[in-house]
Structure 1
Amino acid sequence: MTNTARILVVDDEPDVEALVTQKFRREIRKGQMEFVFAHNGQEALDYLDKDTEVMMVLSDINMPKMDGLTLLTHLGEDYQDLKTIVVSAYGDMENIRTAMNRGAFDFLTKPIEFDDLEATINKTLKHLELFRQLQREKAEAELARATLSRYFSPNVVKTLSEGTGEIEAGGKRCEATFLFTDLAGFTPLVEATDSDTIIALLNDYIEGVARVIFAHEGTVMKIIGDAVHATFGAPVPQPDHAVRAVNAALEIDAFSEGFRKIWNESGIDLGLTRIGVNTGEAVIGNFGGKSFFDFTAYGDAVNVAARLEAANKSLGTRICMSETTRAQISDFYGRPSGNLLLPGKSKPLTAFEPLTKERDALPAMENYRTAYSKLAEGSDTARQLFAALIADLPDDPLILLHLQRTLSGAINVDIEIS
């Protein structure tokens, strides 16, 4: 857009063009202002349809074909960014009120006092510049926010842009629920597949997983290759962060299984997605310096979530969550997986597999829980109960796991995870 202020003068008096051009000759010569002319409201609208550079309209009221008040109505409907100064011999209060109600920025009476007109034009131009500057700043802010949203979670962007609680350098300790995902066998797949296919696959996969996390108002902390690390309950506190995380895990699982099937049918041997979920305290916040920051979390609760994700490989499951997460969900649908002896831990952690409400309601799941309780008690009947379940769910990973363990002489639910 040019720096010259283009002003449309709408007046049917024959000497107006010469008077205006003479009065503002210095501004015109310096390129500060440019005046164009129309003789009635309709001519003005026809001109504006072709010229998008007009910033201001100076309009008379009494004109043929279309008067100035009617023109104001059209300008208010179709050219809201323009500012209009009404210049008229009809300076009574009724016309002034009508003009202002229809969007006039100012009102001057004829005969024209050119010093007043110049002052009014300059005041209006300053207002326009301020208005357009605010529009530019708003557009830049929206662009910056949109750009940030491509790199950070909406929750982080919201906290940064709205100032609802600045993310403190170094962070603070709080309770949250952490979710880790990993795509099994992805590294060998990368080595055996062309780069264009891998890029398309990974972009769609990460987009799908992130979209689920955002839908449950979680925050993506990191994306490392095919792995996604997310948190619920920070930076925006959420009393139901455990519920959100588990629901997100189930939805990610459904998305990933459908996604895997599509790629498998196209000849790409895409592995399953393993998910770990844990609730606990961690130090969460902005770590780094003035030139770079990393919004992340540190603490044992985060490490346990990562280990639970890896534990799925030993269990044969796709989702593994901790007892601390289970304790925060009143209407929990799922089953115990086992007491896991995780690396670096002296005490076992009771793990669970969350289920959809429909799968949880299957009679076989209640029978599984009965068999599991017998195994936890050290009862010899556990082996027979797990064996009977094979007929109903022959491919169920936890049934197969515990049956194999009982056949090998296991008499409890403790499982060592390497």
Structure 2
Amino acid sequence: MRDVPLILAVDDTPQNLDLLTRRLRSQGYEVATAADGEEALTRVAELAPDLVLLDIMMPTLDGIETVRRLKADVAYRHIPVILVTAKSDPRDVVEGLDAGGDDYLTKPIDHAALLARVRSMLRIKTLHDTVQSQARELAEWNRMLEQRVAEQVEQIARMGRLRRFLPPQVADLVLSERGGMDPLESHRRDVTVVFGDLRGFTSFAETAEPKEVITILREYHAAVGDLVMRYEGTLERFVGDGVLVLFNDPLPQRDHTERAVRMSLKMRECIQILAEGWRKRGHDLGFGVSVARGHATLGSVGFEHRLEYSVIGTVPNLACRLCSEARSGQILLTKRVFACLRDTIEAVSIGDLHLKGFHRPVAAFELVSSRWSSDEATCAAIDRKAE
């Protein structure tokens, strides 16, 4: 409601309008007037007054029909209406109240009664306006809440997708730093790819009991998975005994090639420990790994019901083919990986390899050792798990 309430006085007698106007204005109210029912409806549409004082006996459109039309309009039915009638016509009062009037006054109008009824109806109007305002605020809060819930649900969904590939702290960082950007959208980036698999696994899987095959895979995957999380790599996929891990996406990493080689060394150490336990159980398994670097296309691939994050291009293919050339215990590097880390690793050239799918020979290097400190605690923890 306005700071100063606006009252619409409706009467076909100018003297009555003048009297009502002077009385109401003397109490600080704003007053607008109308001479008949048709004009009253027009003025209500124009001004949206806080209260209507409506004479019943008027030509053309009387007060009863006017209030009936007014209350039939959902936009104006909340405006209180005080009907003004003669003492000798109680039937008009009853009909007017049934039509939607909120109160009534009889002529001649008593000044005290007029002001009391006006104050009463304006209090009701104030309460209505307060409720309406609160309802609008509540609706806006609900809309904002629904929007926030939708955003949080989407964030949780994105977090769920990221947690399949990244350690939790990295997934949190990706979400907080990228904001509305989706790191799983298709893009191109310079990455380092690690591919490793078990040696002798195919023949082992053909002869061993299914339960033992699954047990070996779970021990192997647990060991590899722990290391991927520790070095903040992105687990692109497990394919049986093969594992593909990439670095520098979705989270940018300046030292992505160093991380990849460090992890490869740790994988070799830890899988060797596991392999000793497997040999005691009668299974002769080894582990080979390769590291390649280059530009690749990354993002979600699949269809509506199954989407997966993937790295596509020459680099993952090169890592896979190079790994197939590695003997048990060997870590093979591409020329670019060797060039990036030549000051911190010791590697020897094994010449140019003719790899399936590559038209030109590929220069390869075998990693012998590094100048980085060894972390025996990780291998010891994985060793305890295997036992």
TM-score normalised according to structure 1 size: 0.48
Q: Determine which of 296, 314, 338 is the counterpart of 1:300.
A: 314
Distance 1:191 1:250 in 2: 29
Counterpart of 1:339? Answer: 351
Question: Does residue 260 of structure 2 align to residue 248 of structure 1?
Answer: no
1:329 maps onto 2:341 in alignment: yes
- Identity over the aligned pairs, expressed in percent? 23
Cα RMSD after superposing both structures:
3.8
Aligned position for 1:153: 166
Q: Does 1:264 align with 2:279?
A: yes
What is the rounded CA distance, in whole Å, between the counterparts of 2:319 and 2:234 in structure 1? Answer: 15
Write the deviation string for residues 64-90 of structure 1: whole angstroms up to 9, x where unpaired.
Answer: xxxxxxxxxxxxxxxxxxxxxxxxxxx
- CA drift at 1:217: 1.4
CA distance in 1, matches of 2:282, 2:156: 37
Corresponding position of 2:242:
227
Q: 1:178 to 1:187 in 2, by over 3 A?
A: same
Task: Kindly indicate whether the alpha-carbon contact (under 8 Å) linking 1:312 and 1:318 is maintained by their aligned counterparts in 2.
Answer: yes
Report the counterpart of residue 210 of structure 1 in structure 2: 225
CA distance in 2, matches of 1:156, 1:292: 20
2:183 corresponds to which of 151, 161, 166? 166
**Residues 326, 352 of structure 1: 8 Å contact kept:** no
Instruction: Tell me the distance in 1 between the aligned counterparts of 2:246 and 2:166.
Output: 10
Q: 1:202 to 1:350 in 2, by over 3 A?
A: closer
**1:352-396 alpha-carbon deviations (Å, 9 max, x no partner):** 314143899xxxxxxxxxxxxxxxxxxxxxxxxxxxxxxxxxxxx
Q: Secondary structure at the match of 2:283?
A: coil
TM-score (norm 2): 0.52
Instruction: Show structure 2 runs of 5+ residues with no match.
Output: 1-130, 375-387
CA distance in 1, matches of 2:205, 2:171: 31
* 1:192 counterpart letter in structure 2: T
Determine which of 170, 176, 198 is the counterpart of 2:213: 198
CA contact (8 A) 2:159 2:171 kept: no
Q: Is the 8 A contact 1:287 1:295 kept in 2?
A: yes
Where structure 1 has 5 or more consecutive residues not aligned to the other structure, the ranges are 1-117, 361-418
Distance 1:167 1:149 in 2: 8
Moved more, 249-258 or 197-206: 197-206
Distance 1:194 1:147 in 2: 34
Match of 1:351? 365
Q: Is the 8 A contact 1:182 1:228 kept in 2?
A: yes
* CA 350–273 in structure 1, closer or farther in 2 if over 3 Å, else same: closer
In the alignment, the residues of structure 2 paired with residue 175 and residue 146 of structure 1 have an alpha-carbon distance, to the nearest angstrom, of: 24
Identify if the C-alpha distance between structure 1 residues 264 and 145 changes in structure 2 by more than 3 Å, giving closer, same or farther.
farther
CA distance in 2, matches of 1:268, 1:134: 58
Q: Is the CA contact 1:321–1:353 (under 8 Å) kept in the aligned structure 2?
A: yes
Q: What CA distance in whole angstroms lies between the structure 2 residues aligned with 1:132 and 1:359?
A: 51
Instruction: Provide the C-alpha distance between the structure 2 equivalents of 1:144 and 1:150, rounded to a whole number of angstroms.
Output: 10
Structure 1 residues 324 and 136 mapped into 2: Cα distance closer, same or farther (>3 Å)?
same
C-alpha deviation, 1:127, in angstroms: 12
SS at match of 1:196: helix
220-229 vs 210-219, which deviates more?
210-219
Partners of 1:218 and 1:130 in 2: how far apart? Answer: 39
CA offsets 1:115-165 (integer angstroms, 9 cap, x no match): xxx99xx9xx99999999999889967875675466333457864795454
2 CA distance for matches of 1:150 and 1:359?
29
Indicate the residue corresponding to 2:120 in structure 1. none
Q: Which has the higher contact order (CA 8 A, sep 6+)?
A: 2
Is the contact made by 2:227 and 2:266 (CA closer than 8 Å) also made in structure 1?
Answer: yes
Partner of 1:182: 197
Matched residues, number: 243
